[in-house]
Amino acid sequence: MSVTTDRLRDLIETTVGELPPLTVELVRDLDIPEHMAIAEVAALTGVTAHTLRYYERIGLVEVARDAAGRRVYDRDAVGRVVFVTRLRDSDMPIAAIQRYVALVKQGPSTEPERLALLEAHRDDILNRLRDLQGALAVVDYKITTYGGACGS
Amino acid sequence: MSVTTDRLRDLIETTVGELPPLTVELVRDLDIPEHMAIAEVAALTGVTAHTLRYYERIGLVEVARDAAGRRVYDRDAVGRVVFVTRLRDSDMPIAAIQRYVALVKQGPSTEPERLALLEAHRDDILNRLRDLQGALAVVDYKITTYGGACGS
DNA sequence: CCTTGCCTTCGAGCGCGCTCGAAGCCCTAC
DNA sequence: GTAGGGCTTCGAGCGCGCTCGAAGGCAAGG
């Protein structure tokens, strides 16, 4: 495991400068092994093995098994994990991600609905960005004017 | 209650153009009544009365009582509610806010620690902003290239 | 007087997203 | 052969931040 993981880290570090953020594109372009064990995926993505199993359980990723019943992540599965992680990073609810991947599984006819889902989420992200910038302004104000009391 | 609340809405709407976002400065500058009932504060801030009670319970706001034992929010208390709401909006954990207000209560000698707390939170916000922008890029990419599959 | 309605306290419950532990299988190394 | 480590499934538990309901008080209006 650690051999493969180290190889992955080397790959990434020689491809780009730093380890995170692990983008979807990076994973796609990377010379990632065709098959990875759960611990390798965990090390690569920063998602714990427990959480990877959970994601599979609730239908966010499909993962094949080897003869002994162990999970085998192929490149698609790893890409899916990274994609899901990105969506979670932006606070997309699990239920919405479930809906999205269910639509993907149902085939191309669901593309309009997927698109709508993504656009709705895009709006959520933009709202969140505005909230954060507002909060940042408040905190910055507090920091720069420290000593002034005002409602704190 | 609704009379006062309507007056508040009018005040805000004539002061600025729209209702939210309710900033700390706005509240300070606003001609807000000296004393407000919990329902008024709820209507003004968008925080439910239940949550306002909860915030008081856990020490985020101190609120006086009238003769009948009902909460009376003065301007400071309203300002505090708005400030706390801002911090929560930026995902500052309740525990950190508790720590902060505890420091405020302890007097000016704690200002360095407060400042450190705020600066740490500022870093959190900046990280969060970067995450969100990364996720936004992914979602935007998905939206614009829709039809391309790739790890979705 | 009695209803209406907002207020009070207290404690329990909930939804989300993990997170963990138990019990057991399989493979490798010694 | 056996010890170790990593994997499996399953189901329960947890931490956070509310959220709610019950039971009752007080004040104003009809």
Residue A62 has pLDDT above 70, yes or no: yes
Q: What is the domain count for chain B?
A: 2
Please indicate, yes or no, if residue A40 is contained in any of the structural domains: yes
For residues B41 and B77, membership in a common domain is answered with yes
Q: pLDDT at position B42, please?
A: 95
Q: Which bases of strand D sit closer than 7 A to a protein CB?
A: 6-10, 16-21, 26-27
Give per-residue pLDDT as tens, A29-45: 665 788 999 999 999 99
Residue B1 has pLDDT above 50, yes or no: no
Give the residue-averaged pLDDT of A74-85: 95
Question: Domain containing B40: what range?
Answer: 2-89
Task: Tell me whether residues A122 and B139 touch, CB distance under 8 A.
Answer: yes
Residue matched to tokens 């910038």: A133
Contact residues, chain A, for B23 at CB < 8 Å: 134, 138
Q: Helix, strand, coil % (nearest 5) of chain A?
A: 65, 5, 30
Q: How far is the CA of B42 from the C1' of C7 (A)?
A: 14
Please indicate, yes or no, if residue A118 is contained in any of the structural domains: no
Higher pLDDT, B34 or B3: B34
Task: Tell me whether residues B136 and A150 touch, CB distance under 8 A.
Answer: no
Residue B148 has pLDDT above 80, yes or no: no
Please indicate, yes or no, if residue B152 is contained in any of the structural domains: no
Task: Tell me whether residues A125 and B134 touch, CB distance under 8 A.
Answer: no
Please, which pLDDT band fits residue B21 given cuts at 50, 70 and 90?
Answer: low
Task: Tell me whether residues A122 and B143 touch, CB distance under 8 A.
Answer: yes
For residues B11 and B79, membership in a common domain is answered with yes
Please indicate, yes or no, if residue B101 is contained in any of the structural domains: no
Alpha helices in chain B (DSSP H): 2-15, 24-29, 38-45, 49-57, 75-89, 94-106, 111-144
Asked if residues A103 and A110 have their Cβ atoms less than 8 Å apart, the reply is yes
Residue matched to tokens 């929560």: B88
From first CA to last CA, the distance across chain B in angstroms is: 51
For residues B75 and B131, membership in a common domain is answered with no
Residues 46-105 of B with CB under 7 A from strand D: 48, 50-51, 53-54, 67-69, 88, 93-95
Contacts of B48 (CB under 8 A, 6+ apart): B42
Given CB atoms, is B133 within the 8 Å cutoff of chain A?
A: yes
How many Å apart are CA A11 and CA A22, to the nearest integer? 12
Please indicate, yes or no, if residue A12 is contained in any of the structural domains: yes
Please indicate, yes or no, if residue B125 is contained in any of the structural domains: yes
Residue B150 has pLDDT above 60, yes or no: no
For residues B66 and B116, membership in a common domain is answered with no
Q: pLDDT at position A83, please?
A: 95
Q: pLDDT at position A21, please?
A: 57
For residues B11 and B54, membership in a common domain is answered with yes
Look up the CATH number of the domain holding residue B17.
1.10.1660.10
For residues B31 and B73, membership in a common domain is answered with yes
For residues B83 and B13, membership in a common domain is answered with yes
For residues B25 and B82, membership in a common domain is answered with yes
For residues B9 and B40, membership in a common domain is answered with yes
Give per-residue pLDDT as tens, B52-66: 999 999 999 999 999
